[in-house]
């Protein structure tokens, strides 16, 4: 890893991309400390140590931006939710979107534009929702002068912050390394690690008293489990099913065996991010009704359903991860298009006829692989939530599985992209 980074910094173009990415992330981190005018962020300190699922998710992905109620408090969650909606609408729901999805780069730009417009609307609604909700939860202490103009100005600032974060992510994707949205979430999670460690120390170690030895042993056990989980995540993320492919038009005797690699977890960490963002939307809507309906039966029930620290909320979260794993896997690897491309190139899978039989074979294989991938993602995301409930761990650590999946997944993807750039430069140097 360190050798790869050392070699990468010796190449000017790659070095520029790495420094550009780091520069964008620094700008994002600075923005997380700029509190929105008219807001008293200290009122959120009580929620920081509570088990509120929405607050924990937003604050974890934003690297503490919500606890400061900064201009980047919403982070990229409205953009992710918009992406989910637009991708769902491409599944033969809106004909125009289906048509655009088949138009290549031109169609992709149109869909991206729709996603941006939808992001603005969702960000505005979510900004008003969390402002109302958290202001009620803090006993009207968040917004200094509650009123229509105050909520509108806060919503406009938070929406503008979300659009800026989205633009920063796009710049990373184009001019830097990795997926910009994932990198921003990655940086937010990494930035919160020291705070989470300090919180755990104060709760489990500092106040242990006569049970200090037991607390230390328990901490060591947690570290061992985390290390094992990292090994499992790395192993599964790199696991592939290699399907042999033969090409009738290729010259015999080339000595190269072709294969179609299908990852066990083709969807990567996207289902985890999708599920996390998806569960935030109902929480946002509930924020509109929290002030006058906090004790209402329907409000209490819905609040439990969409709270990760409640059993039903954790189960729903896991089910969303499983569903999105299947959904996104078939978006990443479209069996119909793969079968069509193989047939056009004169390729075929041994013992499988070209065309529809190949498509059915790939669909069955992808379904089986995605089943393993979905169970893996669901278990990793659910384990820390269960552990937090059983052993009274800090609420922020309940999102440790989600954070672990995102951090390791994004890191692996960035390393693969970096290795690809290095190999590309090696080939260019050889040709020259």
Instruction: Identify whether the C-beta of residue 63 lies closer than 8 Å to the C-beta of residue 192.
Output: yes
CA dihedral 218, 220, 226, 232 (to 10 degrees): -110
The 3-class secondary structure across 367-381, one letter per residue, is HHHHHHHHHHHHHHH
pLDDT band at 425 (very low <50, low <70, confident <90, very high): low
For residue 325, give the nearest of 399, 382, 377, 262 by alpha carbon.
377
Mean pLDDT of 397-401: 63
Cα separation, 412 vs 408, in Å, equals 6
Q: What is the pTM of this model?
A: 0.77
Give the pLDDT score at 176: 84
Sorted by where each starts, the structural domains of the chain and their CATH numbers stand as: 2-207+267-332+394-431 (1.10.3370.10)
In the predicted structure, residue 347 carries a pLDDT above the cut 90: no
In the predicted structure, residue 106 carries a pLDDT above the cut 90: no
Assign 288 to helix, strand or coil: coil
Q: What is the pLDDT of residues 230-280, one digit of tens each?
A: 888 888 888 888 888 887 755 444 434 588 888 888 887 778 777 877 777
Assign 261 to helix, strand or coil: strand
CB neighbours of 358 closer than 8 A, spacing ≥ 6? 338, 339, 342, 343, 348, 349, 352
Share of the chain above pLDDT 90, in %: 8
Give the pLDDT score at 54: 62
In the predicted structure, residue 392 carries a pLDDT above the cut 80: no
């Amino acid at each position: 890893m360190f050798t790869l980074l050392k070699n990468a910094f010796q190449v000017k173009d790659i070095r520029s991309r790495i420094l550009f990415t780091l520069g964008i992330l620094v700008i994002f981190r600075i923005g997380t400390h700029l509190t929105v005018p008219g807001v008293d962020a200290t009122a959120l300190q009580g929620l920081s140590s509570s088990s509120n699922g929405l607050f924990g998710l937003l604050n974890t992905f934003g690297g503490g931006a919500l606890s400061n109620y900064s201009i980047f408090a919403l982070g990229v969650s409205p953009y992710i939710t918009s992406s989910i909606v637009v991708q769902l609408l491409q599944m033969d729901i809106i004909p125009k979107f289906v048509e655009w999805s088949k138009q290549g780069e031109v169609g992709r730009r149109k869909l991206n534009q729709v996603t941006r417009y939808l992001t603005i609307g969702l960000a505005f609604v979510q900004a008003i929702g969390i402002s109302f909700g958290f202001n009620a939860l803090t006993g009207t202490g968040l917004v200094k002068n509650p009123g229509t103009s105050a909520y509108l100005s806060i919503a406009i600032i938070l929406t503008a912050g979300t659009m800026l974060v989205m633009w920063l992510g796009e710049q990373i994707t184009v001019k830097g390394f990795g997926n910009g949205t994932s990198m921003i979430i990655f940086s937010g999670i990494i930035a919160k690690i020291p705070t989470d460690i300090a919180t755990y120390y104060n709760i489990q170690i500092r106040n242990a008293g006569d049970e200090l030895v037991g607390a230390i042993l328990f901490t060591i056990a947690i570290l061992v489990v985390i290390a094992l989980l990292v090994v499992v995540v790395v192993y599964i993320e790199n696991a592939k099913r290699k399907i042999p492919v033969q090409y009738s038009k290729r010259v015999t005797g080339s000595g190269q065996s072709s294969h179609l690699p299908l990852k066990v977890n083709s969807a990567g960490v996207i289902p985890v991010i999708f599920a996390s963002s998806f569960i935030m939307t109902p929480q946002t809507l509930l924020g509109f009704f929290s002030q006058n309906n906090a004790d209402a039966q329907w409000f209490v029930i819905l609040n439990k359903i969409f709270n990760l620290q409640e059993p039903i909320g954790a189960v729903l979260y896991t089910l969303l991860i499983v569903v999105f794993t299947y959904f996104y896997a078939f978006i990443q690897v479209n069996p119909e298009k793969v079968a069509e491309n193989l047939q056009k190139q004169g390729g075929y899978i041994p013992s499988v006829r070209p065309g529809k039989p190949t498509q059915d074979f790939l669909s069955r294989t992808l379904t089986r692989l995605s089943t393993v991938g979905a169970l893996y993602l669901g278990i990793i995301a659910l384990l820390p939530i269960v552990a937090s409930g059983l052993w009274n761990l800090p609420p922020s650590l309940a999102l440790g599985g989600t954070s672990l999946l995102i951090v390791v997944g994004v890191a692996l993807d960035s390393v693969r992209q970096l290795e690809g750039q290095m190999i590309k430069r090696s080939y260019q140097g050889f040709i020259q």
